[in-house]
A and B are shown apart, each in its own frame.
Chain A
Amino acid sequence: METLDIALPRMAMLYGLCLLPWLLLWLTGLRLSRDIGIGILRMSIQLVLVGIYLKALFDLNNPWLNGLWILLMLLVADWSILRRAGLKARYFFLATFMAVASSIIFSTAYLVVLVIQPEHYYDARYIVPLAGMILGNCLQGNVIALERFYYALRKNQLEYETFLMLGATRWEAVRPYYRAAIKAAINPAIASMATMGLVSLPGMMTGQILGGSDPWIAVKYQIAIMICIFTSTVIACIFNLKLSLNIAFDAFDVLRTEMVDKH
């Protein structure tokens, strides 16, 4: 079963639909024309570019090129995690990269090599979208984990120091904030799994069904991707926080505030 293409005139008609929310917002007194215009334009350009490179990537289907593309995604994700978590990239870049890359490579390899088993493990059609989906969700979890952890540490600095003074090691003193941060980071993934299919139909499954897949196959892929997202988020968050502990403190266990000054 082939997916129906949308011809350009009908795409133009689709953009016309945006006039309705624009009009409603305008009548509400919200002058957001510029923001809406920029948003739609950026989305369109970005997705056209994605289409171009994905087409090229799929046509070439070169293992090195696919690997290079995943590496590029990891580097961008790394930078994005640190910027959004308020940590200085020059100190934490390597630690976050190692944590995220190892969890993404492990989860994607597990899914592709052991579960899906395509003819070629490096097949761009599988590894690029799967790694991308896992990475996108894992990124959110890592932002939450780092942000919550260092915010809590700064906010409770006196409590942290009290724990040290009472004989705690650095690890024992940060453990309450570490556990809370990990919990906050993985809660969205757990909640998402718990409500999957009830609140909304998941994007990947919808895409596969629209693409002509059997709903049962779509369901299996959705379950697979959710489990991999959860696994990689837990692994990456734990590794990331643990590695960052070796960087963010001085030899006397004092938080090096200059590295986390946004908090």
Chain B
Amino acid sequence: MSPIIRFDQVSVSVHEKMLLSDVSFDLFAGEKAVLCGKSGSGKSSVLRTLLGLHPLSGGMVYFQGEPLDPASILTIRNHTAYVGQEPILGAESVREALLLPFGFKAHQSHKPREDQIIEVLRRLHLPADILHQESSRISGGEKQRIALARSLLLGKNLYLLDEVTSALDTASKQAVFDVFSDSSLTVLSVAHDPDWMARCDLVFELEEGRLTKRSGRSGKVSNMQDTGV
């Protein structure tokens, strides 16, 4: 079985600043992985690189066996849901924000029904009447969950989540954990939260753009520098 994502000795530098250096890892379908490390260690850069927002200066990224290139980038973006730490809803009302991607050609034929929208909101502990609220008036935690709800409505299999629980209370966080623990979903996330990390199959530790440690749920820890990977 080939991995959904493969980073093969990936290096990225932007404006002469090295963001990633020789990063290699595989992520298989259904796996939940988390990238951790200090601020500026390159965690978000991994996600942005996969989405084609940073040019590669070395190595190659593969998505479902296909190399990341201009021809495959739309496919990658259309199969991937990305939610950032401070998500941008991009519309005036919550309803418009949730339906925003369904105005794009790629998703026009998959517009969700009202009951599907309400069900997704419910799973994330959001009330149905939030749909009528203005996006600018909802809290940071609600904004994060609306962005997550939007990504779930798109029905993707691969989720790239960048500190999506940072503004959530314990109950809301639990709801998010439950939603993304679904075995059909593959998750590559960035998090500092120990609870989130404990629920992931793989933990990748980054330091100054290098992948320094990889640990699995089994407890097996590989020091990347020792193994030379």
Write out the residue numbers on chain B whose beta carbons fall within 8 Å of the beta carbon of A169. Answer: 74, 104-106
In the assembled complex, the Cα of A7 lies from the Cα of B150 at a distance in Å of 75
Write out the residue numbers on chain A whose beta carbons fall within 8 Å of the beta carbon of B82. Answer: 165
Write out the residue numbers on chain B whose beta carbons fall within 8 Å of the beta carbon of A253. Answer: 52, 73
How far is the CB of B120 from the nearest CB of chain A, in Å?
15
Stretch at the interface among A33-41, A46-54, A154-162: A154-162
| Cross-interface CB contact of A252 among B52, B90, B150, cutoff 8 Å | B52
Per-position binary interface string of chain B over residues 131-147, scored 1 when its CB falls under 8 Å from any chain A CB and 0 otherwise: 00000000000000000
How far is the CB of A261 from the nearest CB of chain B, in Å?
11
Count of residues in B whose CB is under 8 Å from the partner chain: 26
How far is the CB of B93 from the nearest CB of chain A, in Å?
15
Chain A CB within 10 Å — which of B51, B73, B104, B154 has the most? Answer: B104
The reply to whether B106 and A252 contact each other, CB–CB distance below 8 Å, is no
The reply to whether A167 and B88 contact each other, CB–CB distance below 8 Å, is no
Which bracket fits the contact residues of A? Answer: 10 to 19
Write out the residue numbers on chain B whose beta carbons fall within 8 Å of the beta carbon of A159. Answer: 88, 90
The reply to whether A166 and B104 contact each other, CB–CB distance below 8 Å, is yes
B58 at the interface (CB under 8 A from A): no
B3 at the interface (CB under 8 A from A): no
A167-B107 contact given A162-B88, A162-B90, A251-B70, CB 8 Å threshold? yes
In the assembled complex, the Cα of A254 lies from the Cα of B106 at a distance in Å of 19
Write out the residue numbers on chain A whose beta carbons fall within 8 Å of the beta carbon of B107. Answer: 166-167
A162-B87 contact given A167-B154, A168-B104, A252-B53, CB 8 Å threshold? yes
B55 at the interface (CB under 8 A from A): yes
In the assembled complex, the Cα of A110 lies from the Cα of B65 at a distance in Å of 56
In the assembled complex, the Cα of A162 lies from the Cα of B53 at a distance in Å of 11
How far is the CB of B172 from the nearest CB of chain A, in Å?
21
Write out the residue numbers on chain A whose beta carbons fall within 8 Å of the beta carbon of B81. Answer: 165
In the assembled complex, the Cα of A254 lies from the Cα of B70 at a distance in Å of 11
The reply to whether A166 and B150 contact each other, CB–CB distance below 8 Å, is yes
Task: Using CB atoms and an 8 Å cutoff, list the residues of chain A in contact with chain B.
Answer: 158-159, 161-169, 172, 250-254
